[in-house]
Amino acid sequence: MCEQDVFIDDDLEEGMPLIGDEFPCVEVQTTLGEITLPDDYEGKWFVLFSHPADFTPVCTTEFVAFQKRYEDFRKLNCDLVGLSIDQVFSHIKWLEWIKANLKIEIEFPVIADSTGEIADLLGLIHPGKGTNTVRAVFIVDPTGIVRAILYYPQELGRNMDEILRMVKGLQVADENEVAMPANWPNNELVGEGVIIPPATDVKTAEERVKEYDCFDWWFCHKKI
């Protein structure tokens, strides 16, 4: 739990969290009750994503798309958490509408940030769009560290398969101490292979080309 008995930790420095920062400790109201981020997801990955508003077409397509992939995220030990500057009863009514009209039940929690405090803390307010939140994505690892951040304009719906790929890629990178090539696992040069970190001394550089498949000593790859 957050140490302070406040909605947001007042000791946090101003400015949105960056990649590599600890996700700020916040206590929030959601459609599934109160939760504390990132504490309640300790030991798990989670994706926090914001949407501009309830009862809007693009946001509705995004929620359906996230829900259809929810089991794939959970197989990666990763949960989903939505957020917008709407009151919780608006969230509940919207999710009821989605279930009744689109036959999709949204199972993950949606934060009701009616005061806008979380949006301000995370830098989610869309410039020139009043109080609407941008389509932001924070990928947070099991230790509460922000590992990736995505921002989309209001006009562009997100690609959930890319977000799923990012979570999987980060996990593979962590587990194998490698890097992921472009379009992994369908890279144009190395297919589903992964990139070996470049050598930092002459001896290692010479050994790399014997141990792995390499285009050169600084560009080696392997299958996992």
1-31 pLDDT, tens per residue? 665 433 444 444 456 899 999 999 999 999 9
What gap in Å lies between CA 51 and CA 105, rounded to an integer? 18
Beta bridge pairs of residue 187: 191
pLDDT on residue 12: 42
Q: Name the CATH architecture for the domain at 177-224.
A: 2-Layer Sandwich (3.30)
Are the C-beta atoms of residues 48 and 138 closer than 8 Å to each other? Answer: yes
The confidence score (pLDDT) of residue 134 equals 83
Looking at residue 125, its pLDDT comes to 78
Q: What is the pLDDT along the chain (224 residues), one digit of tens a residue?
A: 665 433 444 444 456 899 999 999 999 999 999 999 999 999 999 999 999 999 999 999 999 999 999 999 999 999 999 999 899 999 999 999 999 999 999 999 999 998 889 988 998 876 666 667 789 999 999 999 999 999 998 899 999 999 999 999 999 999 999 999 999 999 999 999 999 999 999 999 999 999 999 999 999 999 99
Provide the residue ranges of all domains of the chain, joining segments of one domain with +.
Answer: 26-157, 177-224
Establish whether domains 26-157 and 177-224 are of one fold.
no
Per the residue annotation, which of 2, 25, 59, 214 is the catalytic one?
A: 59
* Structural tokens at position 212: 């792995």
Task: Quote the Cα angle for 94-98-102, to 5°.
Answer: 160
In 3D space, the residue among 54, 48, 58, 60 whose CA is nearest the CA of residue 131 turns out to be 54
Q: How far apart are CA 169 and CA 165, in angstroms?
A: 6
User: Six-digit token pair at 119?
Assistant: 């949006």
Q: What is the largest CA-CA distance in the chain?
A: 64
59 catalytic, yes or no? yes
pLDDT at 216 (0 to 100) = 96
Bridge pairing between strands 213-216 and 219-222? antiparallel
pLDDT digits (tens, 9 = 90+) for 55-84: 999 999 999 999 999 999 999 999 999 999
In words, the CATH class of domain 26-157 is alpha beta
- Show the tokens assigned to 166: 């990012």
Q: What is the pTM of this model?
A: 0.91
**Residues 159, 32: Cα–Cα separation, whole Å:** 25
